[in-house]
Amino acid sequence: TVTVFGSCNMDLVAYVPVAPRSGETVHGRAFRTVPGGKGANQAIAAAKAGATTRFVGSVGTDGFGEQIRDTLAGTGVDTAGLRTVEGNSGTAHIVVDDEGANSIVVVAGANASTDRIDGEAEGLIASSSCLLMQLETPLEGVEAAAEAAAAHGVRVVLTPAPAEPLPESLLSKVDLLVPNEHEAAVLTGQEDPELAVEALLHSVEEVVITLGERGVLYGNRTGKRLRVPAFPVRAVDTTAAGDTFVGALGAALAGEESVERALREGSAAAALSIGREGASSSMPSAAEIREFLEN
Ligand code: ADP
């Protein structure tokens, strides 16, 4: 079982020819709403990749909260740990121009109240084999969840995004840290990913640095180093590539697969989702991942 602790939002996306400058009003071409947030995306990726998956987080009492809950439940994620708190759900206000460039305002909303864990959440974490977390919710909650996991021997996988320097008290409870190149550089001051792996292994047992179309680098404290190339795909939409990778990786680790295999499944899932439009809607099923790896 995979438990994901973290953020969920409604993404409110406006498509415009050219983004407005301050004080300017422009006509948009289209608008859509898409449930997102790194936590929700990782949970959907893990559930689609075949793991029994639960989500622990918060939505608001607005209509978006119900839509986020329904989307999670609709992909098979158990939402018993998703609290509804008075006020707005988290939202991301996104403007995408014709060049594909975007500007984004994120309002935390209900995610701000995911700052602790209650007894029920602790029970969900304790009975998991793997806990996936990110940094879009308050650090206190992430620390509390990591502590609960560590106390029960649950493997803690942290995506340190958005990047911020992290206290040793948190890192010491993380088993596997999964930054992208930029996040690894923020954490270590090292631009070279190979050196960043070595630096991060001072704090955690295992590290995976994702390098976009250059694949991933893995290292652990027993001296193992792996490089898994990305699968060649025509990139249509790279939104949530990292979340898809981590969700599928977590599902594979919870299924007691080897690290080598888990890294390949994560890379395959990310490649499949990048080849199609959409964020969570483009994430592949377990059968699709298996078939992709066999061919
Ligand atoms: P993030 O989206 O968090 O910045 P990355 O861009 O590093 O993360 O992507 C995560 C993983 O997705 C990569 O390690 C790789 O396996 C896969 N991936 C990303 N971009 C591509 C691409 N253009 N082609 C194939 N695989 C990709």
The answer to whether 14 touches 26, Cβ cutoff 8 Å, is: no
Ligand 1 centroid from CA 137, angstroms = 23
**Is any atom of ligand 1 closer than 6 Å to the C-beta of 135?**
no
Q: Determine the Cα–Cα distance for residues 263 and 156; give it in Å rounded to an integer.
A: 16
Q: What pLDDT, on the 0 to 100 scale, is given for residue 26?
A: 96
Distance of CA 61 from the midpoint of ligand 1 (Å): 34
Annotated binding-site ranges: 9-11, 37-41, 136, 180, 210-215, 237, 239, 242-243, 273, 276, 278, 282
Residue of 204, 263, 197, 262 whose CA lies nearest to 230: 263
Residues that constitute the known binding site for K(+): 237, 239, 273, 276, 278, 282
3-state helix, strand, coil in the chain (%, to 5): 40, 25, 40
Alpha carbon of 273 to ligand 1 centroid (Å)? 10
Burial of 133 (0-12, 13-18, 19+ CB in 10 A): buried
Backbone φ and ψ of 51, nearest 5°: -85, 145
Residue position matching structure tokens 């995306």: 41
- The response to whether residue 2 sits with its C-beta less than 6 Å from ligand 1 reads no
Predicted pLDDT at 277: 84
Kindly give the confidence (pLDDT) of every residue in the chain, 295 residues in length, as a single tens digit, with 9 standing for 90 and above.
999 999 999 999 999 999 999 999 999 999 999 999 999 999 999 999 999 999 999 999 999 999 999 999 999 999 999 999 999 999 999 999 998 888 999 999 999 999 999 999 999 999 999 999 999 999 999 999 999 999 999 999 999 999 999 999 999 999 999 999 999 999 999 999 999 999 999 999 999 999 999 999 999 999 999 999 999 999 888 888 999 999 999 999 999 999 999 999 999 999 999 998 888 889 999 999 999 999 8
- How many CB atoms are located within 10 Å of the residue 72 CB? 27
Instruction: Quote the tokens at residue 125.
Output: 């974490």
Query: Quick check: CB of 111 below 6 Å from ligand 1?
Result: no
Ligand 1 centroid – CA 257 distance (Å) = 21
Region of 58 (left: φ > 0; alpha: ψ -120 to 50; beta: rest) is beta
User: Are the beta carbons of 91 and 65 closer than 8 angstroms?
Assistant: no
Predicted structure pTM score:
0.96
The per-residue pLDDT for 295 is 85
Longest dimension (CA), the chain: 57
- Edge to edge, the sheet with strand 30-36 lists 30-36, 9-15, 90-96, 102-107
Atom 24 in ligand 1: residue holding the nearest Cα: 213
pLDDT at 196: 98
Nearest-Å Rg of the Cα atoms of the chain is 18
Size of the chain in residues: 295
Which residue of 136, 187, 213 sits with most ligand 1 atoms within 8 Å of its CB, as the best mutation to test the pocket? 213
Q: Where are the alpha helices (DSSP H) in the chain?
A: 38-48, 63-74, 119-126, 139-151, 168-171, 181-188, 193-200, 241-254, 259-274, 286-294
Task: Please choose from 238, 265, 273, 293 the residue to mutate so as to test ligand 1's pocket, defined by most ligand atoms within 8 A of CB.
Answer: 238
pLDDT of residue 278: 81
User: Does 9 sit in the ligand 1 pocket, CB within 6 Å?
Assistant: no
Tokens at 216, concatenated: 């991933």
Domains and CATH numbers, the chain: 2-7+38-89+111-294 (3.40.1190.20)
What is the pLDDT, as a whole number, of residue 156?
Answer: 98
Ligand 1: distance of its center to the CA of 138 in Å? 26
Are the CB atoms for 35 and 42 separated by under 8 Å?
A: no
35 lines ligand 1 (CB under 6 A): no
Is 243 annotated in the active site? yes
Tokens of 19: 């983004």
DSSP string, 217-265: EEEETTS-EEEEPPPP---S--TTHHHHHHHHHHHHHHTT--HHHHHHH
- What tokens does 150 get? 């560590």
What are 104's strand-pairing partners? 94
For 81, the token pair is 């740990």
> How far is residue 177's CA from residue 292's CA, in Å, rounded to a whole number?
26
Contact between 57 and 77 under an 8 Å Cβ cutoff? The reply is no
Q: Which residue ranges make up the annotated binding site for ATP?
A: 180, 210-215, 242-243
Q: Pocket of ligand 1, candidates 245, 273, 280: which has the most ligand atoms within 8 Å of its Cβ, to mutate?
A: 245
